[in-house]
Structure 1
């Protein structure tokens, strides 16, 4: 039988026979005049329970409910319940105290010591209730421990929201308007909520909660002052020993195995587990954090940090990052106060036992070799390997390291993130490609720097000016600079060709006619990574203007604007690639210029496939890979072969297709 949500007029008081049956079953009702039910109602399904305040039960009829192999009979028993609305066909067992909650249909709640809502509960939101002082507003202190980038959290907060609010602190009117919007959009309440078909079992203390539908909570220790988004398509799970206070969780999250978090916002499909300690953080979509400590950080999507002794604090990580075991990113302040920060572009990878000082800044896809780095760093060269060379007493940087020496990992990571995106309803377009407008801009800047440091362009190794890249007087060596220059140019050419390719295939030369016709009006755009979504800076400035003016009056309006950005991103990206092409050519490209571009693209695509094969084949050719095998046959049975590697074969096939596409467009533009 289907139980629906009844209207107020469908509730009724109990008949004398129903009252008699309830009392006979060992129940106690403080005031019969405030006890209401909807039909169908079977009073024999309620036993040994005390009711007080206003009670509304939507309907109960005999049925057995199953969850995780356990079968329970619908009904209420062995509980104390005060001022609650109880959805139809619920299972309630052994609630020592339950007060001020609305329970959705089909919920299963059992063995809970206390579950209640306090007056004026805010459910993790950074709002002011009517009559409260501004000092009562709660903020999460992102990026900076001193709190001067504090952001009031709210349900549905995205990475772009957190970035907008924490980054533009000099814009006081924007800050004021965002607080007003949040206060209008959300409110406190004296009643908590639990959505339909939610399962909660074996918990100690549940206070001030708004929980979505189909959520699974088992064995939690303390859940307090939270909004937990969950649905049938994207259920959230909370497991044994967890302690969560003052937070917001997005849909599809998993918080398990003793994780502890306070003052936080989780986007969708975030996993916290294995004793993690998290505080004052925003964690982006599809991130996994375990076994470590993370504090005061704004983390964009696809962050991985799951080793037992890593530490991250006071940082802005712009996505697709990975912290290895023993990495200490934070706490080493070079200041009289804990007010320094670390900012890193996409693809930030500090290696084993890396220790970094704040403040520091890193270009996209910086790989940091094992070591304790004694001074602050400002690494402007993307795709670099950074090494603290203690033997020679210097800092070594190999620019374009990923492209030249580990193409397999570089290409695979881009595919991996796209394949692992578990969002059912994406709220932002995330850029997974390692060659995109943000990295293209960094590559152009890196080429300019290399030209400044070596105007001849001939040096294979050179030195950066002291005190510029590292806050010290020791040498900073740029190794394999000539190879890096070549790699950066190849990356730019490939970015241009692969970005323009779909439009040229669709529109032919007509695409070119719709683009800026001279180099003066076709400068590459300035781009901002807004929580994993790449946006031209001018659009972010316009967004700020519209918020300040009141044209965008709510978070839904702001989010709709971000959705519009998604739709225009491909065209903006094409315009950016076109501007890069004009810079390289120095003028509007003629037919030979187009031929050079797509001939180079064919060669680079072949190079990508070859380097993917070459970099992965090192793992199979290394003689030390054989030491744990009795013979070659055993090794092949366990590891396979390079020619049988599925990803290598996939890239070979895709490269063949791309080469044909490049060749076809090249013929079209003759």
Structure 2
């Protein structure tokens, strides 16, 4: 031992007490350490390479390389093969929770829906904690268990840097746990957080990032000068290009760049990557925020107490403005300014526009449109999660029991409005105006969706299931997980801390639940009735195919060719357009979609 100490001293190393420096029995080479100062309890593994660092109370695993810690590296257990280079300060203090237990004021800026962060958070558990505040006992038990879990983190004597992790070129890192294979390069400030990471789903924190009170899920990327505070960033979620997020829960496959979010609950596949977008006090799901879009919370007298909810698939056009409170149905399209607090959740697939300061609603017009279908088809392809067992559970079906129930109710609603005022030119609903023509078209489009849903079920070999069990009653879209409400009620009887396995089971039993649902909502009792459904299905498919083809043609002819062949003779415009855009018959989205619909129609005809 003394010879090793002498060799270390000769290499410019020093220690407050060499007796508190333990080294591996095999594979430790003093010559691989230069200009290192040790204090507190130190443990060094084999084949470590340490240079130009002050290290205090650390356990350094085998094959670790540390080079250039300007102030101090303290309080960490560093896993095998990790690399820590060019760091200002990196310390971990006993008693910290690494972000666990920190309250996040999601959706309600005043904290009325605040939830505790913890490193097992999922979109489903967070949804219930944020939006089901009426479950007071369930939430009390859940919050207590999360706080108890945070206390176990606080009791740990050290933080950790996982195996194969890289920390390089960072300014100040305080009370942050870093998982296996994570990459933290160039961060300015990281404080009180957890960077979960796995070899198959490595997490990245990049240049200029400032983060306080945070948890990053495996595969997350927070890079390019992003600023986050009191935030959860989910699996394969990207926060980049100077985006600012405060009190936000951002879940799987989200993309956030250039804009700002405050008190936002962003369920999977939410995208806000344009400049000047501002989302405040709102819930988003599979949403797309246009440039300059503004979810405002300024209509208050007693504080920032209002909120807005945009259900699955809502899109906000450029410079759209919504003043909370507001509630939009699934797959809505929002353009213009809306200060009169629209509530369109009962009418999914609608288009909300601003006409002279009045919110004008066109029900169901987004059903079976190229843009809507393209969105629904692209989401599964944009699931970039690589973990063996993804945390957030996502059902990608375009039409599902939750939406079909909404559509059934919407048909009844629009029919009632029409019957109450058969001669009216405009109808009022949810602080919006609906033109008579739009109302009638909406009923037609909704009925088409009902035909498509049951037809798809039948050609897939769906059977009649009149057994008792979950599925026959109401359903819920739990931030991506579509499930019977009856099943949810069973899961939430105790607490949500350990509910992930039950949610996963509900996710895998979807087809079973679906069979009961279809049998309950549609009359499939005999062959004649099933044949009638299939006949309507074939007819509706033909109608929708024709509509899609007509809509897509607008993207290939007429005004769509303006600016092509800009400095060429008029005769060359078409050739230039075709070289850039191709032809409608081979459109990479439309052609496969129409072919699939024709194939479905053939399957249905074969069953008649």
* Aligned-residue offset at 1:458: 7.6
* Aligned-residue offset at 1:397: 1.2
Q: Secondary structure at the match of 1:110?
A: strand
Instruction: Please tell me whether residue 575 in structure 1 is matched to residue 549 in structure 2.
Output: no
Alignment of 1:413-492 (within 5 A): 413-424=375-386, 425-455=389-419, 462-465=425-428, 468-470=429-431, 476-477=434-435, 479-492=437-450
Find 1:515's aligned residue among 466, 487, 491.
Answer: 466
User: Would the alpha carbon gap of residues 488 and 264 (structure 1) be closer, same or farther in structure 2, given more than 3 Å must change?
Assistant: same
CA distance in 1, matches of 2:437, 2:19: 83
* Aligned-residue offset at 1:478: 5.4
Deviations 1:142-192 (A, max 9, x none): 111110111011002001111111222222211221022213434213411
Instruction: Please tell me whether residue 374 in structure 1 is matched to residue 349 in structure 2.
Output: no
- Unaligned 5+ runs, structure 2: none
Contact 1:144–1:339 (CA<8 Å) still a contact in 2?
yes
Aligned match of 2:210: 243
Aligned match of 1:113: 88
Instruction: Please tell me whether residue 85 in structure 1 is matched to residue 26 in structure 2.
Output: no
Aligned match of 1:270: 237
* Aligned-residue offset at 1:524: 5.0
Provide TM-score, normalisation by structure 1.
0.85
User: Would the alpha carbon gap of residues 478 and 21 (structure 1) be closer, same or farther in structure 2, given more than 3 Å must change?
Assistant: farther
Instruction: Please tell me whether residue 26 in structure 1 is matched to residue 12 in structure 2.
Output: yes
CA distance in 1, matches of 2:503, 2:218: 19
Aligned match of 1:361: 327
CA distance in 2, matches of 1:456, 1:149: 39
Higher mean displacement: 439-448 or 571-580? 571-580
Instruction: Please tell me whether residue 290 in structure 1 is matched to residue 257 in structure 2.
Output: yes
Contact 1:276–1:293 (CA<8 Å) still a contact in 2?
yes
Find 2:272's aligned residue among 297, 305, 313.
Answer: 305
* Aligned-residue offset at 1:597: 0.6
Find 2:505's aligned residue among 557, 564, 568.
Answer: 564
Aligned match of 1:202: 169
Instruction: Please tell me whether residue 527 in structure 1 is matched to residue 436 in structure 2.
Output: no
Contact 2:363–2:439 (CA<8 Å) still a contact in 1?
yes
Q: Secondary structure at the match of 1:333?
A: coil
Deviations 1:227-275 (A, max 9, x none): 1111121111111110011011101111111100010111201100111
Aligned length: 594
Higher mean displacement: 355-364 or 644-653? 644-653
User: Would the alpha carbon gap of residues 479 and 332 (structure 1) be closer, same or farther in structure 2, given more than 3 Å must change?
Assistant: farther
CA distance in 2, matches of 1:651, 1:561: 35
Aligned match of 1:348: 314
Instruction: Please tell me whether residue 75 in structure 1 is matched to residue 49 in structure 2.
Output: yes
Higher mean displacement: 48-57 or 168-177? 168-177
Contact 1:496–1:578 (CA<8 Å) still a contact in 2?
no
User: Would the alpha carbon gap of residues 122 and 91 (structure 1) be closer, same or farther in structure 2, given more than 3 Å must change?
Assistant: same
Contact 2:84–2:168 (CA<8 Å) still a contact in 1?
yes
Alignment of 1:34-183 (within 5 A): 34-38=20-24, 39-60=26-47, 75-96=49-70, 97-126=72-101, 138-183=102-147
* Aligned-residue offset at 1:385: 0.7
Aligned match of 1:3: none
Contact 1:140–1:152 (CA<8 Å) still a contact in 2?
yes
Aligned match of 1:12: none
* Aligned-residue offset at 1:610: 3.5
Q: Secondary structure at the match of 1:281?
A: strand
CA distance in 2, matches of 1:546, 1:531: 21
Contact 1:495–1:577 (CA<8 Å) still a contact in 2?
no
Instruction: Please tell me whether residue 536 in structure 1 is matched to residue 484 in structure 2.
Output: yes
User: Would the alpha carbon gap of residues 458 and 617 (structure 1) be closer, same or farther in structure 2, given more than 3 Å must change?
Assistant: farther
CA distance in 1, matches of 2:201, 2:437: 48
CA distance in 2, matches of 1:524, 1:353: 42
* Aligned-residue offset at 1:312: 0.5
User: Would the alpha carbon gap of residues 159 and 194 (structure 1) be closer, same or farther in structure 2, given more than 3 Å must change?
Assistant: same
Deviations 1:407-429 (A, max 9, x none): 22222111100111112322343
* Aligned-residue offset at 1:661: 2.5
Q: Secondary structure at the match of 1:148?
A: coil
Q: Secondary structure at the match of 2:246?
A: strand
Instruction: Please tell me whether residue 329 in structure 1 is matched to residue 295 in structure 2.
Output: yes
* Aligned-residue offset at 1:462: 4.3
Deviations 1:517-553 (A, max 9, x none): 9xxx999521222121012112222222233xxxxxx
Find 2:455's aligned residue among 471, 484, 497.
Answer: 497
* Aligned-residue offset at 1:576: 1.9
Contact 1:410–1:434 (CA<8 Å) still a contact in 2?
no
- Unaligned 5+ runs, structure 1: 1-14, 61-73, 127-137, 505-510, 548-553, 583-587
* Aligned-residue offset at 1:476: 4.8
User: Would the alpha carbon gap of residues 663 and 181 (structure 1) be closer, same or farther in structure 2, given more than 3 Å must change?
Assistant: farther
Contact 1:428–1:566 (CA<8 Å) still a contact in 2?
no
Contact 1:259–1:275 (CA<8 Å) still a contact in 2?
yes
Note the aligned Cα RMSD (angstroms).
2.1
CA distance in 1, matches of 2:283, 2:333: 16
Higher mean displacement: 432-441 or 557-566? 432-441
Q: Secondary structure at the match of 1:643?
A: helix
Higher mean displacement: 495-504 or 285-294? 495-504
User: Would the alpha carbon gap of residues 199 and 239 (structure 1) be closer, same or farther in structure 2, given more than 3 Å must change?
Assistant: same
CA distance in 1, matches of 2:98, 2:239: 20
Aligned match of 1:254: 221
User: Would the alpha carbon gap of residues 523 and 433 (structure 1) be closer, same or farther in structure 2, given more than 3 Å must change?
Assistant: closer
Deviations 1:481-532 (A, max 9, x none): 222211100101111221343343xxxxxx32x3259xxx999521222121
Q: Secondary structure at the match of 1:280?
A: strand
Alignment of 1:632-647 (within 5 A): 632-647=574-589
* Aligned-residue offset at 1:624: 4.7
